[in-house]
């Protein structure tokens, strides 16, 4: 019965999200325009941003590049209200050779940052085994205003968010920790995914200490969700 209720809840949430297709160009343009920090630096040019976003995904298709949309834009396929100024993609390093139009600004073993005209692109490289796993096994196709795009599933996004948390804590990035934990909590509350296989997967990519820390964070989130549901039921 619980499994059936969870499936029904998942379906109803997805139907509500799908009816409002995400316009990637508008999301990024609005995030840039209404970012107070950007206004301090003077005029922000966003006139061509819609065309740039459309051209990027058309180019990826033309070059037959294997990629997966993740990050804030992908999250907007599942939850409302997420704000982001860039596009996050999982991609192989070899694919960058097929895309000389993307100017690489910085790069390390697992990540790269590129610029496509005025659009910032953050790349998660498939040299990282977990990123490659998500691209291969936690992918679906979602319809955006621009076009249909390969996009991470709820479980794929949760894997990436949970994997990143220990590093963010070590960096002392309190604001980003808050964003990531809120993303995890919202996905868990809305979709009630089975977390056991996700922790099994994470155990292959995180050390014992980091994995224990992530489990503790998720347990705290589960307690918050339980309190929320209890209060909601009381107010009905």
pLDDT at 216: 98
Instruction: Give the predicted TM-score (pTM) of the model.
Output: 0.87
Query: pLDDT tens digits for 37-73?
Result: 555 444 455 668 889 999 999 999 999 999 999 999 9
Average predicted confidence (pLDDT) for the chain: 88
Q: Where are the domains of the chain?
A: 18-152, 153-236
Query: pLDDT tens digits for 103-129?
Result: 999 999 999 999 999 899 999 999 999
Strands 111-116 and 148-152: unpaired
CA distances from 214 to 48, 102, 120, 133 (A): 41, 34, 29, 19
3-state secondary structure the chain: CHHHHHHHHHHHHHHHHHCCCCCHHHHHHHHHHCCHHHHHCCCCCCCCHHHHHHHHHHHHHHCCCCEEEEHHHHHCCCCCCCCCCCEEEEECHHHHCCCCCCEEEEECCCEEEEEECCEEEEEEECCCHHHHHHHHHCEEEEECCCCEEEEECHHHHHHHHHHHHHHHHHHCCHHHHHHHHHHHHHHHHHHCCCCHHHHHHHCCCCCHHHHHHHHHHHHHHHHHHHHHHHHHHHCC
Topology classification of domain 18-152: Beta Polymerase; domain 2 (3.30.460)
Distance, in Å, from the CA atom of 208 to the CA atom of 93, rounded to the nearest integer, reads 29
pLDDT at 56: 96
């Amino acid at each position: 019965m619980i499994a059936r209720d969870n499936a029904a809840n998942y379906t109803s949430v997805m139907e509500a999200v799908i009816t409002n297709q995400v316009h990637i160009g508008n999301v990024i343009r609005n995030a840039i325009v209404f970012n107070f920090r950007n206004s301090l630096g003077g005029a922000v040019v966003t006139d061509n941003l819609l065309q740039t976003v459309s051209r990027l995904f058309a180019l990826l298709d033309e070059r037959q590049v294997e990629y997966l949309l993740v990050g804030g834009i992908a999250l907007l396929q599942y939850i409302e209200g997420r704000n982001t100024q860039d596009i996050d993609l999982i991609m192989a390093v070899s694919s960058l050779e097929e895309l000389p139009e993307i100017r690489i600004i910085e790069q390390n073993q697992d990540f790269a940052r590129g610029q496509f005209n005025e659009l910032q692109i953050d790349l998660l490289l498939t040299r990282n085994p977990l990123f490659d796993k998500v691209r291969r096994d936690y992918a679906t196709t979602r319809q955006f205003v621009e076009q249909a795009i390969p996009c991470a599933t709820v479980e794929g996004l949760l894997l990436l968010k949970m994997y990143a948390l220990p590093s963010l804590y070590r960096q002392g990035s309190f604001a980003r920790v808050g964003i990531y934990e809120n993303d995890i909590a919202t996905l868990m509350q809305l979709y009630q995914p089975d977390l056991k296989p996700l922790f099994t997967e994470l155990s292959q990519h995180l050390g014992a200490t980091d994995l224990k820390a992530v489990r503790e964070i998720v347990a705290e989130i589960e307690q918050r969700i339980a309190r929320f549901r209890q209060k909601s039921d009381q107010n009905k």
